Amino acid sequence: LYTLFTATLMPFAYFVDLGQSTSLVQDIGRAPHASTRIVHTSLALKALLSAIAAPALMLFSFLYFKQAEERQLFWVLGLLLLPRSLGATLEAAFRAHQQMVPPTTATLGSSALLLAGAWWLLATTRDLQTVLWFLVIVEIAKTALLAELYRRAHGYGLAAHKPFFDRALGRELVVAALPFFLMGLLGILHYRLDIMLLAALRDNAEAGIYSAAGNFVKVLRVAPSVIVAAFFPAIAGMRTNSAAVRALARKTLWLQLVCSSALALAIFLFAEILIGQTYHFTEAVTVLRVQVWSIVPLALYATLVYVFFQADKPAWNMRIMAAAVVCNVMLNCLLIPRWGALAAAISSVASESLCCVLYFGCYFALQRSTLPESAAVERAAGRVNSSAPCDTA
C-alpha cells in the first residue's frame, strides 16, 4: 500500500517541483548575481503550486482509492508536498553554488533519523498512519535545517529580499523549467507505471514483490545521481557543447560505467542474501537479479541528459524518454499477465537499454554537428594566444 501511495503521489510532487530542482542549477549557474532573487521567487512559486495541487490530490484520491481509510492515509502522505518541494529548491541552490556538503549533511541526518524511527515504529505499533506522520515531521525538520544552513552559507535570511515574489522573474523561471518538468514527468511515467500496471493487471502482492527488488535498485541509483549532481553544476556555466564540456562528459561516462557495473554485479551476486535478510520474498530474488542491470544504461544516459540540457537540446531528451515510456508500457502490458513482477523487471532493463542506445546515437550526432564550429573557435583562440607575449618563467 505504501508503494502504491508513493507511486501515485509522485506526479503531484513533481507538479509542485515543476522541474526546478534541476533547472535552478542552470538558472543560477548562468546568472549567479541574481541567485537571491531566483531562490526567493522559486520558494514563493512552490507555495503557490502546493495550494493548487492540494485540491487536485484530494479529488484524485476519491476517484482512485475506494476505501476511506486508504484515502485518509494518502492525504497524510500528501502533506509532504510543500516541505519536500521547498527543500528540493534549497538543495538545488546549494548545488548551483557547487556546495555539496550542506545538502548531503541534511540528507544523511534525516535519512538516519527516518530509518531508525520508522524501524522502531513498525516494530512496536505496526501502525502505517503513525509512520506516515513521522515521515512528514522528518521532512519538515529537514527543510528547516536546509533553510538554516543556506542562511549561514550565504549570509542572509530567506525573508531578506523584497519583494519576496518577483512576477516577471517567476514567469521566466517557469518557462526555463518547462523542458525539465516535461522530461521529469516522462521519467515518472517510466518508473512508476510499472507498479500501477502490476497492481491493475495482477495484484498488490506482485507489486510488493517488484517493489522489494526495486528498493535495492533505488539505492543503487544514488551513486549515478551523486555523480550527475556534481557534473551538471560544473558544466552549467560553460560555453554550450564546448570542448571542455565534451572532455568532462567523457570522463563522467567512464566513471558511471565502472561504478554502475561494479554495483550491479555486487547486488546480482548477493541478491539472495539481501532479499532473505529483509523482505523474505523468495520470488523477488530473480526479479532483483534481472532488474539490477537496468542501473548500467541508466547511469550512462543520465549523464547525457544534462549534456543535452546544457546544449539547449531539451526536445531531444523528451523524445527519447517518450520512446522509452512507450516501450516500457507495451512490454509490461504484454508480459505482466503471464510473468508478473519478473515481466516488469524485464521491461525495465529493455526500456533503459533502448533509452541508452538512443541517447548515445544523438550524442554522437551532436558531436559531429558542432565539431567544425568548435574547432574554428579553438583555432581563433589559438591565434589570439600566439599573438600575446609569452611568460616563459
Instruction: Give yes or no for a contact between 102 and 150, defined as CB atoms under 8 angstroms apart.
Output: yes
Q: Angle 222-236/20-30 helices, nearest 10 degrees?
A: 30
Q: Tens-of-pLDDT digits for all 393 residues of the chain? A: 777 787 778 778 878 887 777 777 777 777 777 777 888 888 888 888 889 988 988 898 888 888 888 888 889 888 988 898 888 888 888 887 878 888 888 888 998 998 899 889 888 876 888 888 999 999 999 999 998 888 888 765 555 556 667 777 778 888 877 887 887 778 777 777 787 788 778 877 788 888 888 888 888 888 888 888 778 777 776 777 678 888 888 999 999 999 999 999 999 999 888 888 888 778 889 999 999 999 999 999 989 988 888 888 888 888 898 888 899 889 989 988 888 889 889 999 999 999 999 999 999 988 887 655 544 444 444 443 443 333 332
Quick check: pTM over 0.85? no
Instruction: Give yes or no for a contact between 5 and 77, defined as CB atoms under 8 angstroms apart.
Output: yes
Domain extent listing, the chain: 1-165, 177-376
| 235-272 confidence digits (pLDDT tens) | 776 777 678 888 888 999 999 999 999 999 999 999 88
CA 140, CA 286: separation in Å to the nearest integer?
38
